[in-house]
Amino acid sequence: MYPEQAPHVPAQRAVEVHQPTPLPPAVPVAAPVVPVQPGTVPAVASIVLPDGRVVTGYAIEPTRPEPVAAKPAVSRTAVNVALGGAGFLAVCGGLVLLTSFIAALTAFITQLIILAAVIFGGWIAVQILGTRGHQGGTTVNIRKAVIKRNHFHG
């Protein structure tokens, strides 16, 4: 991809390490205190690139964040509250269903009792009011001389 301008020689060039020269401050200015990473001045490293350029810089290790203890995505308290709420709603719903079931069962039993009373009452009415050979009227038993209607007793 890159045009070859000069033949490459395997990495035989020496790496030079330069020490930084501290500069005296020009004007002392009261600046806010800024924390500095290392307590000592790190060494300056210079690298000669294959094309002849020299790159100089400090070798600073990247700062690594402190390991954080693994925390669950949702707190346990929130999970417990949610489960408690779901359980409470389930119990309330169950009680409503139980109450509805008991009311329906009570209405069913009441209807059965009323149906039995109507059937039994109808049977009794048929027994009492039914015609069995006599058309109604006064009962007279002549052999014993009992006439109920006129109250003759003999």
Kindly report, residue by residue over 114-135, the tens digit of the pLDDT.
Answer: 999 999 999 888 888 876 655 5
pLDDT of residue 29: 57
CA angle 77, 82, 83 (to 5 degrees): 100
pTM above 0.85, yes or no: no
Using the predicted structure, report yes or no on whether residue 54 has a pLDDT greater than 60.
Answer: yes
d(CA 95, CA 89): 10
Phi-psi region of 152 (alpha: psi -120 to 50; beta: other; left: phi over 0): beta
Kindly report, residue by residue over 66-90, the tens digit of the pLDDT.
Answer: 887 777 688 889 999 999 999 999 9
d(CA 73, CA 127): 80
d(CA 107, CA 52): 102
pLDDT of residue 102: 97
Could you tell me the CA-to-CA distances from 128 to 122, 136, 138 in Å, in that order?
10, 12, 16
- Number of Cβ within a 10 Å radius of residue 47: 13
